[in-house]
Amino acid sequence: MAGKGGESVLSDQEDYQSLLSDLVKKQMVMLGPQVAISKARTVAGLTVGQDGQVTAISGDPHSALEQLASEYMKLSGQIANTTLQSLLEQYPAIKSRGLQQA
């Protein structure tokens, strides 16, 4: 995924979009679609479709990830954190940057 030669910035953005989309979709199952999407749409810079797909990120994608994780953790605490950690295993380049814990 990340680190595809000269496309590293683009693939990095794509990795964040995929990770954020996966996180929203998992939260849709746990919290319900309306709550999960509503919370995701409160994060500055994220554009989220009705299906939970993050279609655009403006600004710093890592900051958006931290903000979204924080919003979900406020609602479901450790469950959201465990979900995020399992998803991060699929994105080692993002995981290596670390996240601020809520």
Token pair 């940057």 in the structure block, residue: 97
Distance CA 102, CA 15 (A): 22
Q: Is 62 exposed, middle or buried (0-12, 13-18, 19+ CB in 10 A)?
A: middle
Find the radius of gyration of the CA atoms of the chain: 13
pTM metric for this prediction: 0.75
H or E segment to which residue 88 belongs? helix 61-88
The whole-number pLDDT of residue 23 equals 96
The whole-number pLDDT of residue 6 equals 44
Domain range summary for the chain, segments of one domain joined by +: 6-95
The whole-number pLDDT of residue 5 equals 43
The whole-number pLDDT of residue 33 equals 96
Q: Chunked in runs of 10, what are the mean pLDDT values of the chain (102 residues)?
A: 49 94 95 95 97 97 95 85 88 81 50
